[in-house]
């Protein structure tokens, strides 16, 4: 295997440096093809057709105070194109944007530009462009990022691959990026094997859980990017990954109190599973709220039992999780996946169709409860 520095330089700081290196080829005509690469990237980043100058700042950091509010600017890569366009690059490898980073950076740079005097930084800036570049797996939260340009690992690879053979640094980066993207494909496979289920991808990698959830509930259902409904989110519990997708939430009549219902993919001692759950943040010390929650759970359980038995999807005793009405997060049904994933080609269509019907019939009856 060829020695590759990017197998060791895996962090966002290293990728920041690589982005700066790519951009700065505009200022070096010793390798015309790499200069062409820089021009293509800068046109894409800045949204303009002609590039006349490129200035680069890596890890731009400055505190800006706007109406007594502090804006801490910590911009991964800041590029000034044609002395008039400020390009803010938010670079991610394995993490996601947080705390509305990009908009804060835009507000801060806009303030600096509007108040800059001649010969000061940002004087003459007429436009601010944002780029969200993530080479890691794109989860749903990444697809919600508001940015002028969004570049995935696949997008970045498509641009860079045109310029192979002109630099060992570039070729090494491309080779490492290709390996990483293939890793997401390999470890996104959620089907079972002859190994212990604790070694399966779905028990260890959120990518596999995400892909199963999205195979059951396609992204096209998540029509409103500002809504939690049909958005897939994930986390860990005791070091193990879980993945969830909310199918809806309801408010009680004449109250701000609400509950939500969601599907969860996880693994327990019996193997991988998918469960439909109720969540309500009720006060366990409040007898009225506690009784209300218990009644809600019992009503949901009764409705679900009727759906399961009428639809012949499963035997109720196979999916009934036991009474969970005293918990804020309570399973309504619990479907074991181990055997199904071991024979996925034979069970896939039936499982997906069954879960779809259960979901739509169950949520369609919620108005009967509230």
Domains of the chain: total: 2
Indicate whether 187 belongs to any domain: no
CA distance 13 to 59: 9
Do 228 and 172 share a structural domain?
Answer: no
Query: Measuring CA to CA, which residue among 159, 178, 130 is closest to residue 34?
Result: 159
Place of tokens 């980066």: 173
Question: Domain range spanning residue 278?
Answer: 193-368
pLDDT at 370 (0 to 100): 72
pLDDT at 118 (0 to 100): 83
β-partners of residue 245 are 232, 263
In the listed set 155, 181, 207, which residue is the last one of a domain according to the structure? 181
Do 206 and 134 share a structural domain?
Answer: no
Query: Measuring CA to CA, which residue among 330, 353, 233 is closest to residue 278?
Result: 330
- What's the average model confidence in pLDDT over 161-178? 97
pLDDT at 226 (0 to 100): 86
Do 246 and 146 share a structural domain?
Answer: no
pLDDT at 1 (0 to 100): 66
Indicate whether 234 belongs to any domain: yes
Do 335 and 242 share a structural domain?
Answer: yes
β-partners of residue 258 are 251
Query: Is 74 strand, coil or helix?
Result: strand
In the listed set 161, 181, 201, which residue is the last one of a domain according to the structure? 181
Q: What is the pTM of this model?
A: 0.91
pLDDT at 314 (0 to 100): 86
Do 262 and 150 share a structural domain?
Answer: no
- What's the average model confidence in pLDDT over 62-77? 90
């Amino acid at each position: 295997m060829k020695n590759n520095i990017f197998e060791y330089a895996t962090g966002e700081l290293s990728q920041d440096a690589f982005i700066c290196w790519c951009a700065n080829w505009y200022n070096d005509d010793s390798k015309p093809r790499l200069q062409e690469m820089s021009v293509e990237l800068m046109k894409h980043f800045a949204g303009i057709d002609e590039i006349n100058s490129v200035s680069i700042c890596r890890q731009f950091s400055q505190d800006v105070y706007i109406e007594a509010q502090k804006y801490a600017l910590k911009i991964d890569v800041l590029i000034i194109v044609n002395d008039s366009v400020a390009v803010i690059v938010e670079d991610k490898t394995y993490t996601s944007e947080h705390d509305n980073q990009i908009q804060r950076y835009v507000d801060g740079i806009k303030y600096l530009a509007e108040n800059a005097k001649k010969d000061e930084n940002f004087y003459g800036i007429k436009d601010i462009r944002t780029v969200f570049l993530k080479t890691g797996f794109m989860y749903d939260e990444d697809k919600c990022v508001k940015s002028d340009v969004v570049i995935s690992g696949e997008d970045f690879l498509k641009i860079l691959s045109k310029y192979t053979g002109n630099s060992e640094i570039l070729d090494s980066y491309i080779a490492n990026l290709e390996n990483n993207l293939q890793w997401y494909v390999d470890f996104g496979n959620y089907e079972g094997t002859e190994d212990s289920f604790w070694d399966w991808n779905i028990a260890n990698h959120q990518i596999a859980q995400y892909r199963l959830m999205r195979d059951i509930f396609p992204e096209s259902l998540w029509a409103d990017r500002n809504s939690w409904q049909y958005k897939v989110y994930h986390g860990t519990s005791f070091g193990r990954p879980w993945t969830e997708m909310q199918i809806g939430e309801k408010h009680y009549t004449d109250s701000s109190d609400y509950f939500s219902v969601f599907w969860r993919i996880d693994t327990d001692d019996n193997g991988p599973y998918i469960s439909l759950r109720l969540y309500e943040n009720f006060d366990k010390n409040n007898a009225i709220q506690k009784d209300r929650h218990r009644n809600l759970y019992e009503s949901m359980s009764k409705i679900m039992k009727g759906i399961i038995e009428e639809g012949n999807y499963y035997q109720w005793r196979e999916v009934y999780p036991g009474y969970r009405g005293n918990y804020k997060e309570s399973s309504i049904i619990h479907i074991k996946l181990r055997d199904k994933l071991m024979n996925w080609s034979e069970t896939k269509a039936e499982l997906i169709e069954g879960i779809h019907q259960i979901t739509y019939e169950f949520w369609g009856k919620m108005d009967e409860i509230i």
